[in-house]
Amino acid sequence: MKKRLIPIALTLSLAIFGCVQKSEARARIPFGEREALTKVADLPDTDEYLIKEGSKMMNTKSQYLDLATFHKEFNIAWLLPLWVTQEPKLVGYNETDQSFYELSDQELQTILDENKLDKNKLNKLGFYTRYGGKLVAVLIILFIIWGLIPSKKTPVTPQSA
């Protein structure tokens, strides 16, 4: 049974981790610090929240300001956040072009008061971002250690026919 599982596990791990190599380049798993934006509040699409792009003519649909949290995290492969390096803060967010705008404390408080939003509820990170990446990383390490521990061979006793 174990002899069948080894090729299956090897094939699955190659498919999952993208280790199929081209003749010239190797696939690398990206890791390091990245900036993350998460939309937390959709503000009303009124002239008050319309984003003006200076003298540029906007050929696309109108772009309106929303609220998002901005934080920096250290992660592996953009999927496994290990720790937060900069705590989240509320920023103005343009969903169309994925850009954000720093807001002064007065501007932010005005937006929150007008829309009856709670800053403490909006300015939080999810469980997976805060703790989930650590739990997944620990599980992966435990599976690697478990795989390195040799298993006991069960004694085979001959049976007469």
Residue (of 36, 89, 86) closest to 67 by Cα position: 89
Question: In order along the chain (161 residues), what is the average pLDDT of each group of 10 residues?
Answer: 59 56 66 92 89 56 87 91 94 90 93 92 91 92 91 84 71
Instruction: Supply φ then ψ for residue 77, to 5 degrees.
Output: 55, 30
